[in-house]
Amino acid sequence: MAETHVGLKKLQENFPASILGVRHFRGEVTVTVPKQELLQICQYLYSNPDLEYHWLTDLCGLDFFPQKPRFEVVYLLYSVKNNERLRLKAKVGERESVSSVESIWKAANWLEREVYDLFGIPFENHPDLRRILLWDGFEGHPLRKDFPVEGPDFDKPFVPEV
């Protein structure tokens, strides 16, 4: 598996110091990288002519509360050229930010807004970082593990102030 995955091989050749961990599971490759180098690695994966990861299929967050650092931001990249997917992960602590990849993939615009909305992870240099699914003024970030599934006022109707 490791031999046939072009993206992983190239990363190991060019960024040997930045790979914090590699996991193979059910034929999928997950690479953990430091968040400071994320943008640089993404740029490399996007523009290298042998890789051409031109698709950002998905971008989401994970919350490992109460571990520290608690968050992970997960990027799922896809290259039509090699027909392979690569999952990048970066660990993020509470009140830390990640650099936005919106400059590479426009798809990241709304996906990063969603992670910001539901996890509260801010993205640096994002052109329009606002909440996307919840309304402005909502308190808390629902997909955090310490956010209750059922709040004390869950059966009361919500009437926003106009």
Partner 1 sequence: MAEKRLMTLNMGPQHPATHGVLRLILELDGEIIVKATPHLGHLHRGVEKLAESKTYAQVIPLTDRLDYTNAMGNNLAYVLAVEKLLGMEVPRRAQVLRVIMAELQRIAAHLIWLGTHALDIGAMTLLFYNFREREDILRIFEEVAGGRLTPTYLRIGGVAKDLTEEMKDPIKTFLEAFPRRIKEYETLLTQNVIWLKRTKGVGIISKEDVINWGVTGPTLRGSGVKWDVRKAFPYSGYEEFDFDIPTGTVGDVYDRYIVRLREMEWSSSIVEQALEHLPDGPIITDHPGVTLPPKDAVQKDIAALIRQFKVVSEGFRPPEGEVYASVEASKGELGFYVVSDGSNHPFRVRIRPPSFLNLSALPKMVEGRLIADVIAVIGSIDIVLGEIDR
Binding site for partner 1 (CB under 8 A): 25-26, 28, 30, 54-58, 60, 62-63, 74, 76, 80, 83, 85, 87, 105-107, 109-111, 118, 131-135, 142-143, 147, 149
Nearer to partner 1, 26 or 95 (CB): 26
Q: CB 92: neighbour CB atoms within 10 A? A: 22
Name which of 57, 23, 59, 55 is nearest 38 in CA terms.
59
Shortest CB 13 distance to partner 1, Å: 25
Nearer to partner 1, 29 or 38 (CB): 29
Shortest CB 76 distance to partner 1, Å: 6
Nearer to partner 1, 13 or 140 (CB): 140
Rounded to whole angstroms, what are the CA distances from 91 to 31, 36, 96? 11, 10, 10
Rounded to whole angstroms, what are the CA distances from 136 to 24, 63, 133, 139, 156? 40, 22, 9, 9, 19
Tell me how far apart the alpha carbons of residues 101 and 22 are, in angstroms, rounded to a whole number.
21
Nearer to partner 1, 14 or 69 (CB): 69
